[in-house]
Amino acid sequence: MIRFLNHIAIAVPDIQKAVTLYSDVFGLEVSEPKDMPDHGVTVAVAQLPNVQIELVAPLGDDSPVAKYLDKHPSGGLHHISFEVDDIKDLKTNLMDANHVPLGDGKPKEGMHETPTLFYNPKDFLGVLIEFEQKGLESQKPISPVKTNVSRHLSKQKEFREQGAHVKVFMEDWY
Ligand code: CO
């Protein structure tokens, strides 16, 4: 089951320019760019209450974003990532609908050190999609039979437990 949108990854040709745009112009909190040689990228993260924007620049010769930037030199939407309860269940469900993950089909440790799978954009309306299994704490299922009020309260509690500051956002949402 898909739980949340975790992040949107934007491929960028120049990480410093991207950070300046998101921090100085957009006014968001953006992390220092971090080299991730195992993943062939340099990443800076802009934090919003409900989602992260990952600014991803190529690192090294064999970067997964280099080919994308060849086609989109000024940058572009690289992928979106959903959090799921159980990556194996997700894979099984998608297999039942004839969707096969990229690579050898085994969940790999992603940039957030959680098991992840990627699916071909051709299968999903032209968007590269990552599914990411989060830690046990965020895997607690939300009961579908709760009233609106109790669901509202449990959402607040859930987000507090995650240490996120999304309570205000969720209050506006419901
Ligand atoms: Co990602």
- CA 169 to centroid of ligand 1, rounded, Å: 23
Tokens of 94: 């998608």
φ, ψ of residue 126 in degrees (nearest 5): 85, 5
List the Cα angle 118/94/43 in 5-degree steps: 15
List the Cα angle 46/172/160 in 5-degree steps: 65
pLDDT on residue 151? 45
pLDDT on residue 62? 86
Question: Which residue ranges make up each domain of the chain?
Answer: 2-137, 142-173
Q: Per residue in 135-145, pLDDT tens?
A: 655 444 434 34
Where does the chain have alpha helices with state H? Answer: 15-20, 66-71, 87-96, 148-161, 167-173
pTM (two decimals):
0.75
Tokens of 67: 């080919």
- Would the pLDDT of 160 be above 70? no
pLDDT on residue 170? 35
Active-site annotation holds for 130: yes
Average pLDDT over residues 108-137: 88
Average pLDDT over residues 77-86: 96
- Regarding the domain delimited by 2-137, which CATH topology (the fold level of the hierarchy) does it fall under? 2,3-Dihydroxybiphenyl 1,2-Dioxygenase; domain 1 (3.10.180)
Split at pLDDT 50, 70, 90, the class of 87 is very high
- CA 131 to centroid of ligand 1, rounded, Å: 8
- CA 111 to centroid of ligand 1, rounded, Å: 7
* Residue of 130, 137, 161, 171 marked catalytic: 130
Average pLDDT over residues 63-79: 95
